[in-house]
Amino acid sequence: MAILVTGGAGYIGSHICVGLLNAGYEIVVLDNFSNSNPEALRRVSEITGKQFKKYQVDLVNKERVEQIFSEIKIDAVIHLAGLKAVGESVVVPLKYYQNNLTGTINLADAMKKYKVKKLVFSSSATVYGATDQIPIREDTPLGAVNPYGRTKQMIEDIFRDLYDSDSTWNIALLRYFNPIGSHNSGRIGEDPNGIPDNLMPYISQVAIGKLPYLNVFGNDYPTKDGTGLRDYIHVVDLAIGHLKALEKVQSTSGIGAYNLGTGRGYSVLEMVEAFEKASGKKVPYTIKDRRQGDAAICFADPTKAREQLGWEATRGINVMCEDTWRWQQNNPNGYEKLVKPITKSG
Ligand code: WQD
């Protein structure tokens, strides 16, 4: 019985695949490689010494999704596939609704048809929107403020309605805070297309000399140094949180949302300082105006995940920066673009 991982070639997905394989699970990966690289899956096998089935599949292709379930005995699904750039979602909202919602509904339909009712869903802290309830608890009112976040909130609602219609489903909704870092091998990591939107890959590219300096978006926030404060979580801690959630949905029926964060926030300038210490490189920066849509402060109360999943983050900011730097140094251009993508593999 396999665990189906949608979006398994992505930054977070590849780290989850390493964790699943090392824990002895059989996995099947679906990915359309629109924002990921098959090389990441080759390196998952390199790190773990294990092979696994992988298919280039777009979840919006309903027939293709059903075909996978007809061919392979699937025990549970970890659903990560989706478009995830906040800024882009504001520019092309229909692309985000089409891709994220249609893909999810096709997946859920196939799961229902083949009686696969154990699901871990990759949600996001963006479902909380601009809340002043800090630290954020799972019962904090939801209020996504951009199309990307709204797709995540809508998908959570879809799964809550699905559970209300059939309580034999077992569903965990994992709300990620700010994932950073890389597997300590330096062989898999974050590989953004073009200029990074997110802070850590941007800092890392400044440190290695690909970008001249960091733009700090605002230093007039109500924080100790005036810069934005976030809950950065090591991507390996995040992956372990998925393994714990998988154990939960394999043993308990019900639906629950869980914050995957550390419960501690760091400011932009604290991240710059930590990365300079980890890399031994200077990270020059300039102060710019606030970025539209940014919250001042956002970090999790991770109590529920600790109590109900038996999970908590253990990796600190120094390890997050050291592991990011190792990935950056070993792969200055990320995953080299490959000649031939994977279409189907046994
Ligand atoms: C972090 C801090 C910026 C870049 C986003 C998504 C969220 C989730 C995680 C998917 C903020 C500041 C950033 C830069 C800067 N992804 N910053 N200069 O916005 O908290 O969350 O990624 O689920 O959905 O919204 O992350 O890394 O973009 O910003 O000063 O060049 O760094 O203002 O304070 P964010 P981020």
Q: What ipTM was reported for this prediction?
A: 0.97
Residue 341, in any domain of the structure: no
Instruction: List, for residues 259-277, the tens digit of each pLDDT value.
Output: 999 999 999 999 999 999 9
Q: At what angle do helices 235-251 and 11-22 cross, to 10 degrees?
A: 60
Contact call for residues 1 and 25 (beta carbons, < 8 A): no
| CB of 216 sitting under 6 A from ligand 1 | yes
Give the residue numbers spanning the domain of 114. 2-330
Contact call for residues 258 and 175 (beta carbons, < 8 A): yes
Res. 341 pLDDT band, cuts 50 70 90: low
| CB of 109 sitting under 6 A from ligand 1 | no
pLDDT cut 90: percent of the chain above it: 94
pLDDT at 346 over 50: no
Residue 339, in any domain of the structure: no
Residue 342, in any domain of the structure: no
Residue 343, in any domain of the structure: no
pLDDT at 293: 85
Residue 340, in any domain of the structure: no
Instruction: List, for residues 6-56, the tens digit of each pLDDT value.
Output: 999 999 999 999 999 999 999 999 999 999 999 999 999 999 999 999 999
pLDDT at 1: 81
Q: How many domains does the chain have?
A: 1
Q: What is the mean pLDDT of residues 147-164?
A: 98
| CB of 79 sitting under 6 A from ligand 1 | no
Residue nearest to atom 21 of ligand 1 (CA): 178
What are the Cα distances from residue 249, in Å, to 5, 75, 127, 207, 301? 15, 11, 22, 41, 22
CATH number at residue 69: 3.40.50.720
pLDDT cut 70: percent of the chain above it: 97
Residue 73, in any domain of the structure: yes
pTM across the whole model? 0.96
Q: Which residues contact 122 (CB under 8 A, 6 or more apart)?
A: 7, 12, 78, 79, 80, 82, 174, 176
Residue 344, in any domain of the structure: no
Residue 72, in any domain of the structure: yes
Three-state DSSP class for residue 43:
helix
CA nearest neighbour of 233 among 197, 263, 273, 201: 263
pLDDT at 5 over 70: yes
